[in-house]
Each structure stands twice: as structure tokens, then as C-alpha cells.
Amino acid sequence: MVQNWKDVGPQRYRETFGRYFEDFTVGDIYEHRPGKTVTEYDNHLFTLLSLNTHPMHFDAEFAKESEFKQNLVVSPYTLALLIGMSVTDVSQKAIANLGMDEVRFTAPVFAGDTLYAESEVLAKRESKSRPGQGVVTIRTVGRNQKDETVCTFLRNMLIPARGQAVEDKNPRY
């Protein structure tokens, strides 16, 4: 079990997040909570920020003519949201995201859908070139409120060993 508080003085505790390399066990599944209900504003803002000009994401009249009959949530937002949901569990202490593979969008996401995520630890290994660090591979699955899988992806992260994270070396954190 990951400790969520560290003693920083008499009767004083600081909330902590994330896991050290040693805390990951292949086969473990972390359910990321809370979920997030996607709003039309979320979709429009991300669409504009990313300069995605496809009208399926912001033109309701255009989308009415499609097979979905409504705007689709832009898929990079779905991916970003699911990654964000997983941070406190799996990558809060990460030194770097090393890559993502096998990104799949398996069902549409609409404004009003509530998304939930979970990540399974697929592999871990100590770094050969970076002592005190290791590579952890996870598969994250995002589901909507109907328990339909909407997105899956693999992610590789460089994770510090206990005592090697930034917050371990600086009392301010």
C-alpha cells in the first residue's frame, strides 16, 4: 500500500501522490478516481487550443447530419483526460514519459459522458543506464458511464526508486 502522507513535523503531515518504482507490481490494477463528466465547453476549448478545424467537434448543425447526430469529443482530449486521471496513481513521481503506444479510440465520446480510467501494470525493469530509476509499462483503459471502453493505450514511464524523487531530496516538497 502506498503511503499518502509523510511526516514533516510534530503533528504535521503532507499529502503525497504517486508511486516509487518499488511500489509497482506487475498485474496490479489501479482504478483512477474521480471520474470526469465531459462538457461541451471542455470539447470546444480543447478543439480551439489544438487548432482542430473539423466541424464534427464544434458545429452542431454539421454534426446532426452525421451518423452520430451530435458533436464528437475531440479524441486527443479524451486521451489527455485519461492520462491526467492516472497521474496521481502512476506518474506523479515520474521523471519522464518515455512513450505511448497502441492508442485506440474504440467508441465515440460525447458531451455529457462521464469517463473513468484504470491502469494495469504490464512490466517493470530497472534502468541499465540510470541507477535508482526504472521503466514501468502500463495499459490504461477509459470507460464511459455505460461501462463502454472508449480508449486504450500503453504508456512507458521512467520512475525513480524510493529516495531518488525530487520530493525526497528537497524538504519544500
pLDDT along the chain (173 residues), means of 10: 61 78 94 95 94 93 96 96 94 94 97 97 95 96 98 97 83 72
The Cα 158–Cα 130 span in angstroms is: 10
State residue 157's pLDDT score: 97
Name the nearest CA neighbour of 130 among 159, 173, 156.
159
Does 34 sit behind a cis peptide bond, omega within 30 degrees of 0 on the bond before it?
Answer: yes
- What single string gives the DSSP state of each residue in 28-75? -EEEEEEEEE--HHHHHHHHHHTT---GGGT-HHHHHTSTTSSPPPPH
The Cα 140–Cα 134 span in angstroms is: 19
What are the extents of the domains in the chain? 5-169
CATH code assigned to 5-169: 3.10.129.10
State residue 74's pLDDT score: 96
Beta bridge partners, 13, equal 7
Question: What pTM was computed for the model?
Answer: 0.89
- The answer to whether the CB of 53 falls within 8 A of the CB of 88 is no
